[in-house]
Amino acid sequence: MRIGLTYDLASEYREMGCSEEEVAEFDSIEVIEAIEDVLRASGDEPFRIGNIFRLTCALARGERWDMVFNIAEGMHGFGREAQVPALLDAYGIPYVFSDPLVLALTLHKGMTKRVVRDLGISTPDFAVAECDADLRGLTLHFPVFVKPVAGGTSMGISAASKARDASELHAGASQLWRKFRQPVLIEEFLPGREFTVGLLGSGRHARAVGAMEIILQDRAEPDVYSLLNKKDWVGRVSYRIEDGELGAEARNVALQAWRGLGCRDGGRIDLRCGTGGRPQFLEVNPLPGLHPETSDLAMLCRMAGVGYVELIETIIHPAKQRMAAATGASGI
């Protein structure tokens, strides 16, 4: 199969003047090369497309691919992750990972939590605030956690994200409004253990690979899996697979949310335990980082016995099934 690759390279955006934090969730060339290697080894032929601007130009020139492996995050707006799959839908080109509806919904953490709550899945109480007036009259219990409503890869998350009173909340929210120019999500802080669960597959065929606990060390920024802790994790963070009863519960909660939200092919769901010790939904990443060594999903899968080649092949398998089903239904 001819498989196009859509992605945002961090180096290209840095050359345009973007900051390290602005490009934190974009990919390195090592990720693209690693995915290409797996595709070639599987008998497919990869073609580098790049970001949505290059995709648009390629489509206008008449270029086509049997399928697109899409990891493009986009830069602007609540629909930034949905832009590439929406464009591919318009041209009838199949692709890997979730559709525009899911990607637009899950980028907005507040909207996602409303849907998750409606599904009956436990998630900390929260509010979405766009200005100072929204902070008045909040009934949330302190401490609370404040972060950009549509950030990724721990963007905007630091030790200051945990607010112990109204004054700290106002300071933290104001800083995020100025820096990211978007609403903030405020949720009651959960003091327990933190996990990220890896999901592979779609719908009833989806499965939770494992629940990886995130353990902050003495050198880490306290209480939060911040951008600093995530990027410079050696000596700050340790990771382990939780195989016991709590791990099973975390996997079950994540799988319910994954299926309920309609996510496809592969990704992660973050959870944290409250005072009662039960894991609660925090957020979902349906476009996971895929660096073979340092991304959370690859690390988690490796610890659970799933190598990088198997990870990529498992991610692309349901997309190929969707393509085959659509081709058969159309009579082509």
Same fold for the domain at 2-96 and the one at 194-316?
Answer: no
Structure confidence by residue, pLDDT tens digits, 93-152? 999 999 999 999 999 999 999 999 999 999 999 999 999 999 998 999 999 999 999 987
In the CATH scheme, what architecture does the domain 2-96 have?
Answer: 3-Layer(aba) Sandwich (3.40)
Residue 21 pLDDT: 79
Q: Which residue has the tokens 């990886």?
A: 212
Residue 234 pLDDT: 85
| 130, 78 contact by CB (below 8 A) | no
Residue 258 pLDDT: 98
Structure confidence by residue, pLDDT tens digits, 238-259? 999 999 999 999 999 999 999 9
Q: Could you write out the DSSP letters of every residue in 31-97?
A: HHHHHHHHHHHTT-EEEEEESHHHHHHHHHTT---SEEEE----SSSTTGGGHHHHHHHHHT--EES
* Per-residue DSSP letter, 221: P
Please state, in angstroms and rounded to a whole number, the distance separating the CA atoms of residues 153 and 227. 7
Structure confidence by residue, pLDDT tens digits, 182-202? 999 999 999 999 999 999 999
CA-wise closest residue to 35 among 11, 80, 5, 63? 5
| 210, 227 contact by CB (below 8 A) | no
Backbone dihedral region of 282: left (phi > 0), alpha (psi from -120 to 50 degrees) or beta?
A: alpha
Residue 331 pLDDT: 52
**Cα distances (Å, whole numbers) of residue 47 to 3, 172, 269:** 6, 43, 30
Structure confidence by residue, pLDDT tens digits, 206-231? 999 999 999 999 888 887 887 787 77
Other CB atoms within 10 Å distance of the CB of residue 89? 14
Structure confidence by residue, pLDDT tens digits, 149-177? 998 767 888 888 999 999 999 999 999 99
Structure confidence by residue, pLDDT tens digits, 278-330? 999 999 999 999 999 999 999 999 999 999 999 999 999 999 999 998 876 55
Q: What average pLDDT score do residues 43-61 get?
A: 97
Which residues have C-beta within 8 Å of that of residue 125, sequence separation ≥ 6? 140, 141, 187, 188
Residue 304 pLDDT: 96
> Is the per-residue pLDDT at 332 higher than 50?
no
Type and span of the H or E element at 253: helix 245-261
Average pLDDT, whole number, for the chain?
Answer: 94
Percent above pLDDT 70 for the chain: 98
* Per-residue DSSP letter, 27: B
Domain ranges of the chain: 2-96, 125-188, 194-316
| 207, 201 contact by CB (below 8 A) | yes
- Any idea which fold 125-188 has? Dna Ligase; domain 1 (3.30.1490)
Q: What average pLDDT score do residues 26-31 get?
A: 94
Residue 305 pLDDT: 96
According to the CATH classification, is domain 194-316 in 3.20.20.10?
A: no
Please state, in angstroms and rounded to a whole number, the distance separating the CA atoms of residues 121 and 254. 9
Please state, in angstroms and rounded to a whole number, the distance separating the CA atoms of residues 207 and 232. 30
